[in-house]
Amino acid sequence: MIVRPQRLEQGDTIGVIAPASPPKQEPLEKGIAFLENLRLRVKTSPQVSKTYGYLAGTDQDRLEALHQMFSDPSIKGIFCACGGFGTSRIADAVDYDLIRENPKVFWGYSDITYLHTAIRQKSGLVTFHGPMLSSDVGTAEFDNLSKKMFDQLFQAQVLRYTNEISRLVAFSRGEASGEIVGGNLSMLVNSIGGPFEIDTKDKLLLIEDIGEEPYRIDSFLSQLKMAGKLEQAAGIIVGDFSEAEPKKREQSLTIKEVYHHYFSSLDKPVLAGFKIGHCLPHFAIPLGTKGTLSCRTKTLVIEPGVS
C-alpha cells in the first residue's frame, strides 16, 4: 500500500541527518539557510558532525539519528545532508514499523537510494529523490529550477517533465504507467541478491549515476538484465550520468552505444536525458507514486508525492 507523507507547512520543523558520509560543513550551513528561507525550522542531528572513516559516525550513530527523527513527533520531514557511502550497512537494522507508523517526508539521493528502496518496499512510504543540502543546495551553482522542486513538498502537485527542460532521447517505443522506483544505478545493482533487492515488476525504473565509465555502466546494466529487472519493468527513465567519459581505455563504447545495446530491443518505453541525478538543474521526484512515461510525446508525468 502506498503511503504519502503529509505535506509540509511553513513553520514546520524538519530534521537533518547524514545516513552515509559526513557532509562539508560550510555548504551544509548554506543548505540549511535555504530551508529556513522556506519558512521551515531546522533541527540538525549531532550525528551530522561525526566522522568514522568515510562514514558520518558509526553504523549505530547513523541508525539512531534516523530513528530519532522518525520517532520525534515534532519533526515533519527529514532531509539528508549528503550521500557518499554506507546506507546499505544500516538497512537491515532499520525499524520499518516505526517508519510505517510515523510517515513523513524523506529527501535525498545517490547512496540514499538504498534507503529509498528499503523504506518503500518495507513500509510503503513515498520518499523523494532530490538534491542534497551540502553537495547541491549549498553550492553556488544551485539553480532556480532545482529550488522550485521543493514546492512539491508544500502542495500536492502533478509534475510534468518535457523536452523544454532538457533534450529527451527515445531508445524504444511506447507508453507505460507504473510506480516509479530506483535511483542510483550502482546502489540498485548492489541490492540484488539481498533482502532489499529492487522490485521492478510493472514499475517505471529510474537509473542515474556519477563517475562511472561506459564499461562500468555496461556491467551494471548487464547485471540488471540478467536479474530480470529490465524485462520486468514497465518502462525505464534514464537520468543523468555525469563524469562518465572514458578514462582507463583509449578505445571505448559511448554511453549512447551502451544504452542502445540494452534498451533498443525492449518492448517498453525507454527515455533518456532527464536531469535527474548528480546534476544541476536537478529535477526532484517522488519515488513510489505513479508515473506515465511516453516515448511518443517524450514526457514523464508524475502524481503528487504528498497528501
CA distance 283 to 149: 7
The three-state secondary structure class of 210 is strand
Q: Which sequence spans correspond to the domains of the chain?
A: 13-144, 159-302
CA distance 102 to 196: 21
Give the tens place of pLDDT for each residue, 205-261. Answer: 999 999 999 999 999 999 999 999 999 999 999 999 988 788 877 789 999 999 999
CA distance 16 to 251: 44
pLDDT at 249: 73
Residues 83, 132: contact at Cβ < 8 Å?
A: yes
CA dist 103 → 77, 94, 97, 98 (Å): 9, 14, 10, 9
Residues with catalytic annotation? Answer: 110, 208, 278
Residues 131, 31: contact at Cβ < 8 Å?
A: no
13-144 sits in which CATH class? Answer: alpha beta
| Residue 151 one-letter amino acid | D
CATH code given to domain 159-302? 3.50.30.60
Residues 158, 304: contact at Cβ < 8 Å?
A: yes
pLDDT at 10: 97
- DSSP lists the bridge partners of residue 17 as 80
pTM of the full structure: 0.96
Give the tens place of pLDDT for each residue, 37-69. Answer: 999 999 999 999 999 999 999 999 999 999 999
Averaged over 87-116, what is the pLDDT? Answer: 98
CA distance 100 to 228: 29
- Identify whether 281 is preceded by a cis peptide bond (ω within 30 of 0): yes
User: Residues, the chain, total?
Assistant: 307
